[in-house]
Amino acid sequence: MFTVSAVSLNHRIPSFAYTLQEKVHININKERLHAAGLPVGSWLKDVKQHLWDGRPDDYRFTAILYFEHRKEEREFVLGEVRDRFATISRGQRIAYVVDARYDAENASKIVELVRDADVFYCEAPYMDRDADKAQERYHLTARQAGLLARQANVRELVIFHFSPRYTGLENLLYQEAQQEFSGVAKAI
């Protein structure tokens, strides 16, 4: 289903950055299911697992379907279920970096690890005007998070882990990250 990769970063003590790489992304179209008179339910988890496992199109499986007032056992052919109800796309890649100092070695490791991530969750405790404080405390600035996101060609950057000194000023952190990378989301 997915793989996890990690690298050790410098934060006075070892700290780890991670990526989660989905093998493929499988989306089940619930509207088509309902139009075909089929319920959603745990049987769809089995469908996804069969697809992740690479079972052949002619693979037959039995599923227990739970309707409003009854339960029913049905046999399905995997390829038919996939073609009618599933959309399979490139697997998503999610990256997470926290507790890292900005230096050449860490920057290189982070960029390599998070390259082409769909979503990059990255700490941004400090503004660049406090870069000396960030270095002293082994953390990143919002600008550095944006720079790493741009260098790694990620799709979306989510910054978090803000220093309490910026309470009420979070928009300044977002703006600073956006100066380096335009795909900054205001989540978390």
Q: Which CATH superfamily is domain 2-23+92-185 in?
A: Ribonuclease Z/Hydroxyacylglutathione hydrolase-like (3.60.15.10)
**pLDDT value at residue 158:** 97
In order, the DSSP letters of the chain are -EEEEEEEEEESEEEEEEEEEESEEEEE-HHHHHHTT---STHHHHHHHHHHTT--TT-EEEEEEE-SS-EEEEEEEHHHHHHHHEEEEEPPEEEEE-S---SHHHHHHHHHHHTT-SEEEEE--B-GGGHHHHHHTT--BHHHHHHHHHHTT-SEEEEE---GGGTT-HHHHHHHHHHH-S-EE---
Q: What is the mean pLDDT of the chain?
A: 96
Three-state DSSP class for residue 84: helix
pLDDT digits (tens, 9 = 90+) for 59-78: 999 999 999 999 999 999 99
Show me where the domains of the chain are located.
2-23+92-185, 24-90
pLDDT of 188 > 80? The answer is: no
Provide, rounded to the nearest whole percent, the portion of the chain with pLDDT above 90. 93
Phi, psi of 40 (to 5 degrees): -75, 165
**pLDDT value at residue 1:** 78
Phi, psi of 70 (to 5 degrees): -155, 165
Q: Which amino acid is at 22?
A: E
Query: What's the pTM value of the predicted model, to 2 decimals?
Result: 0.82
pLDDT digits (tens, 9 = 90+) for 139-152: 999 999 999 999 99
pLDDT of 31 > 60? The answer is: yes
**pLDDT value at residue 22:** 93
Provide, rounded to the nearest whole percent, the portion of the chain with pLDDT above 70. 98
pLDDT digits (tens, 9 = 90+) for 99-155: 999 999 999 999 999 999 999 999 999 999 999 999 999 999 999 999 999 999 999
